Structure 1
Amino acid sequence: MAKSKFEKSLYDGIEKVREVTEYDQEMISRYVKFKQNLDEFDKDIAENGVMITVINSTQEYRKVNPAVTEKEKINTAMNAILRTLGLDAKSLAEQGNNSSQGGGLL
């Protein structure tokens, strides 16, 4: 299966300093899935807003969209994966900006 530009930038970031291990591959796969989840949460927040209305029989109230909370949790997990891989978002963004192909994360 072909790697996306996003996934390739993760591999490239690791390969600059060491060989990519099987563990790294698993972590990258998890990171990419988290990114897909974030994209879905962004869509939900765009459609429904940060606050949602909940109707429970005779009660109606507003609460934070659960996608907001889940997005925060996943973002924390993604940052932990980057640290585990020895990467950070800033260096990956710079890598993408320096690439003539635009193959980075942004």
Structure 2
Amino acid sequence: MDADKIKKELLKKVDKKSDVGKEKVDRYINLLKIFYMLDESIEKKGVMVETINATQVFLKPNPAIAEKNKINTSLIALGRDLEASLPPPKEVVKQSYAASDLT
């Protein structure tokens, strides 16, 4: 993941004068970094982790998976919010054509 490239791409989409827009981009990049750090943790510790409780030893799902899902949901919502804050696209002027244009 190249955070700088992603940040530049997102900043092109927000109003340069909007501090809120820039803050949303920074938040998106921060969440993205955390998302991939959780990936590394899951790869290192595994999908299931061993839990020791007094004399009991059992496996349970790695809590990083649930956190990764929460971060993913936040990234999707923030991405939608960034898209919604974009200025409306310029209207394309439709040209009318006559039947004679087809020949």
Separation of aligned partners in 2, 1:61 and 1:82:
38
Q: CA deviation at 1:26?
A: 0.8
The CA distance in 2 between the partners of 1:73 and 1:42, in whole Å, is 13
Structure 1 residue 6: Cα displacement: 1.6
Match of 1:27 in 2: 24
* Letter of the 1:28 counterpart: V
Identity, % of aligned positions: 35
Q: Corresponding residue for 1:10?
A: 10
TM-score (norm 1): 0.71
Distance, in Å, in 2 between the alignment partners of 1:51 and 1:60 is 13
Secondary structure of the structure 1 residue equivalent to 2:49: strand
CA deviation after TM superposition for structure 1 residue 57, in Å: 1.2
Q: Does 1:69 align with 2:28?
A: no
Shift of 1:11: 1.3
Question: How many pairs align?
Answer: 81
Listed as ranges, the gaps of 5+ residues in structure 1 are 88-106
Q: Offset of 1:56 from its aligned partner?
A: 1.2
Higher Rg: 2
Give the match for residue 46 of structure 2. Answer: 49
Residues in 2 aligned to 1:11 and 1:26: alpha-carbon distance in whole angstroms: 10
Runs of 4+ in 1 over 6 A off after TM superposition: none
1:39 maps to amino acid: Y
Residue 76 of structure 2 aligns to a residue whose secondary structure is: helix
Q: What per-residue deviation string (whole Å, max 9, x for no partner) do you get for residues 10-63 of structure 1?
A: 112x15xxx242111111111111011111101101101111110111011111
**TM-score, length basis structure 2:** 0.73
Gaps of 5+ in 2: 85-103
Larger relative contact order (Cα-Cα within 8 Å, sequence gap ≥ 6): 1
